[in-house]
A = this chain, B = another copy of it.
């Protein structure tokens, strides 16, 4: 049987109200000695608060709901970690629900959360894209990570895709490349549009004409990167560098280059996107632009907390910038090599956050 406030009050010889005040640093004054005595007794008895009762009385619970489409995605989990990291200090709890892309599950999750008096929900999505359908969130306060609503739905946190595209291509230009291929993501993705725009603008700023023949599309898979890279490399005037919209297609590009007998990165420089695990273990290791999921998670939590405190009411669209991590595939100088043993680290084994030994550009 868990210890209740009543048992503490009996042990201390005071009323439950006094105990409650003592435990919650209430504005209502409590004698200092009495308060200390109550705290000691509560400690000794092993009291901890019943959040359920507390929430019922307060008509709100200190829980933040997180709804994600695919919890097995490394992007999503990193967002979740960022959220929890930010929320930890404020004593919030997180409920994570995985919908597996099912809109019915999503609606059910929203309804269930309402039943738990959850006031705020963060939607953590795997891909950055437009939302086609209206979402019924029952006036709940929401922040969307990676989802953009056509009608300007209030609050979203997204990566700065345009900046990322510029970052990648600018690096290749700085390395002397003038003919740079781009393997974009699928055309119906917001990220694809934006990164392509970044690609175009940075070319223009450097006086390089845009050549549509240098742009191919793929659906983020290794195989499609392989096919696209082959097309680019078989052009009459092939590129000397290829920027791929994610690390998997960049890996496909590596394979295509290998099959053509090209030397990486003398004959072909490659830059990927996302900084997934593969980027640190491929041969060559991949220079890549990070998808700042952890920071996006933090920002979304920050924003939601502001919403809950009624501090931010205007519609917000926060863009988080990634950074360029320089590794072997672009030919720039780097400290990273794949054959040297690293110091083993238990916790870092799958940690995408602190990619060590990377040169930042």
Q: A residues touching B (Cβ–Cβ < 8 Å)?
A: 2, 48-53, 55-56, 61, 70-74, 77-78, 80-81, 84, 93-98, 100-101, 111-112, 114-117, 126, 186, 219-224, 226-227, 248, 251, 255, 259, 277-278, 281, 283, 338-342, 344, 346-347, 349-353
Contact = CB atoms under 8 A, between A and B. Distances in A.
A336 B325 CA distance: 32
Nearest to A294: B72
A338 B117 CA distance: 49
A112 B51 CA distance: 8
A49 B338 CA distance: 56
20 contacts: A49-B115, A50-B56, A50-B117, A51-B112, A53-B56, A70-B350, A72-B74, A72-B77, A73-B350, A81-B98, A84-B98, A93-B97, A93-B112, A126-B349, A126-B350, A222-B281, A224-B344, A226-B341, A251-B281, A255-B338
A191 to B, nearest CB: 14
A282 to B, nearest CB: 9
B51 A116 contact: yes
A74 B74 contact: yes
Closest 6 CB pairs of A and B: A219-B344, A51-B115, A96-B96, A223-B341, A72-B77, A73-B350
B48 A52 contact: no
A351 B255 CA distance: 22
Given A70-B350, A72-B74, 13 more contacts: A50-B56, A50-B115, A52-B52, A70-B347, A72-B81, A73-B350, A74-B74, A74-B350, A94-B96, A220-B349, A223-B342, A224-B344, A277-B278
Contacts of A221: 341-342, 344, 349
Contact of A350 (B72, B114, B283): B72
Given A52-B116, A98-B84, A278-B281, A222 B72 contact: no
Given A339-B226, A352-B72, A94 B93 contact: no
Contact of A71 (B51, B80, B126): B80
B341 A227 contact: yes
A207 B93 CA distance: 57
Contacts of A281: 222, 248, 251, 278
Contacts of A56: 50, 52-53, 56
A74 B157 CA distance: 24
A111 B43 CA distance: 13
A101 B346 contact: yes
Nearest to A93: B112
Contacts of A248: 281
A52 B117 contact: yes
Nearest to A281: B222
A98 B96 CA distance: 11
A2 to B, nearest CB: 7
A98 B86 CA distance: 13
Contacts of A98: 80-81, 84
A237 to B, nearest CB: 24
Contacts of A74: 72, 74, 350
A223 B339 contact: yes
A115 B278 CA distance: 41
A114 B52 contact: no
